[in-house]
Amino acid sequence: MAAAKKPAPFKNEQILDFSKPVNFNSQKEAIAKLRKKLGKTHEIVIGEKKYKTKHTFNSINPSNKDEVLAVFYKGTTELAGKAVETAHDTFKEWQYSPVEKRADILFSAAEIIKRRRFEVNAYLILEAGKNYAEADADTAETIDFLNFYAREALRYAGRQPVVPFKGEKNELVYIPLGVCAVIPPWNFPLAILGGMTSAAIVAGNTVVLKPSSDTPLIGKLFYDIMVEAGLPAGVLNFLPGSGGEVGDTLVAHPKTRFIAFTGSMEVGIHINELAAKVQPGQIWLKRVIAEMGGKDSIIIDADCDLDAAVDSVTAAAFGFQGQKCSACSRAIVDKAVYNEFVKKLKAKVETLQVGPADENFAIGPVINESAMKGILDYMEFGGKEGKLLCGGFKAEGNGFFLEPTVFIDIAPNAKLSLEEIFGPVLSVIKSKNFDDALKIANNTMFGLTGSLYTNDRAKIDRAKKELLIGNLYFNRKCTGALVGVHPFGGFNMSGTDSKAGGRDYLLLFTQAKLMSEKIDV
């Protein structure tokens, strides 16, 4: 039998340029085509069977709250148990499937997404409220995860180094864990969902996927793509539903082996606590892979390119309406350049226009009404802790639109400085000097991303040692991590530092098995 063809070295998928009319027009056409197919009711899929339940919920367009994109049957405790049992039974065979077969499914899925790129973007634009560039970045990252993890699985399946020992033949292999409950967020509803799910599957595990109730249609799209790519029934099971009913059942089930979660700190803590309790009949300690929140800072040193810093802060704070765990929600600015920075920042932010994502406005909607109300509460409270520089109110439109908002003169220990808002709200904090800036940057319970703008090499070296941040950048924004280039994950209450898109990631989805055989010498 011929040896399997080795894949070409990994390279990142390039993001499309929507300033080019051909791309812009293709995207607009794809949105129009997708709209003609929307409004269907989608069933739960467990193994080879589809299920309907008594209750349904709607997926709506956050840019137009009256537009129903799809209807979904709501999962139940009983179906959650059935899904885990089905995944557990499927795992008995899937765990022995050749790694080349698993990798090929991921490669095929990546090609399907590339072929349907504008259509896939359209789902993200309509259901998640992403503008064209943000949607395409999400799609490109999904392609990257599929291609990267497929290659990683092949690498892990290769011969692993162990120290030779006379008289023995020793072999170390990485084997799958079992059933994985994948609980993804709504903010990267394709990339993070696809990344966690594909990592679990290519490592030989089976999955019960509970998509976010805000973006279930994108979850169903990924499920359908994986089936089209050749994934057998039961390896991936699609189960939308509430966190309290479906999510908790999946986490607590004794046959769930591990949980891959991305979301808020509060939910992550709850999942970790629930997973830690050993249930009757459970024969393992469950593993939790958790990426949680962030309260991310960009430090602006007195010695830096101030215009570049303003551009990066604006992009990192307000890209996708600040709804990224990596978003810059705090600008820590040296007092020597504080006033000038604030003046330039105000001028920059006020150029941002708010409107529907399908019309490709720079700032689209936040994800839902509850999020909008919560962020408005922070905007109202912010005036008590600092001075409103710009924004601060709901924007016009029939969606969940908010003005990009900046508060200045915020104290390092203020509520706005310490709590994750997850919306288009930036706090500007004045630092006395570089020592003070480092102290402020480290004063939250999070440690996900951050950036330093400076031309002083000594300060960069100090930041490398002293800032407790999982993804630390210099003279660039703190968002936009690339698969393979910037392995992503954070410290403290930002999660378990899983380093998604890195060479260590699949270790979290496997366990190492050592086999030793005595031989004649």
Q: Show the domains of the chain with their CATH numbers.
A: 25-292+498-514 (3.40.605.10), 296-482 (3.40.309.10)
H helix or E strand, kind and range, residue 296: strand 296-300
Per-residue pLDDT tens digits for 270-294:
999 999 999 999 999 999 999 999 9
Average pLDDT of the segment spanning 139-165: 97
Closest among 234, 294, 255 to 444, alpha carbons compared = 294
Provide mean pLDDT across the span 157-174.
Answer: 96
Q: DSSP character for 514?
A: E
pLDDT on residue 1? 34
Strands 405-408 and 387-390: antiparallel
What's the confidence (pLDDT) of residue 14? 97
For residue range 95-104, list pLDDT tens digits in order: 999 999 999 9
- pLDDT for 71 beyond 70: yes
Out of 67, 134, 291, 420, the active site residue is 291
Distance CA 111, CA 123 (A): 17
Q: What percent of the chain has pLDDT over 90?
A: 99
Residue 312: CA atoms inside 13 Å, Cβ hemisphere, count?
25
Residue-level pLDDT at 257:
98
* pLDDT value, residue 378: 98
Confidence of residue 6 (pLDDT cuts 50, 70, 90): confident
Q: What is the dihedral of CA 248, 250, 254, 258, to 10 degrees?
A: -110
Mean of pLDDT over the chain: 97
Kindly tell me if the per-residue pLDDT of 509 is higher than 50.
Answer: yes
Is 291 a residue of the active site?
A: yes
Q: Which long-range contacts (CB under 8 A, 24 or more apart) does 276-285 make?
A: 277/252, 279/252, 279/253, 279/254, 280/254, 281/254, 282/254, 282/255, 284/178, 284/257
- The mean per-residue pLDDT over the stretch 11-30 comes to 98
Residue range 199-210: average pLDDT? 98
The HSE-up count of residue 229 (CA atoms within 13 Å, CB side) is 28
CB atoms within 10 A of CB 193: 29
Q: What is the pLDDT of residue 442?
A: 98
pLDDT at 4: 57
Segment 458-467 mean pLDDT: 98
- CA-CA distance, 230 to 153, in Å (whole number)? 17
DSSP state of 399: S
The helices-and-strands tally (H runs, E runs) of the chain is 15, 21
Does pLDDT of 267 surpass 90?
yes
Give the rounded distance of the alpha carbon of 262 from its chain centre: 6
- Rg of the Cα atoms in the chain: 23
Across the range 4-27, mean pLDDT stands at 94
Distances (CA, A) of 335 to 317, 438, 462: 21, 14, 20
Amino acid letter, 350? E
Out of 325, 328, 390, 478, pick the active-site residue.
Answer: 325
Per-residue pLDDT, 2:
41
Is there a catalytic annotation at residue 325? yes
- What is the model's pLDDT at position 424? 98
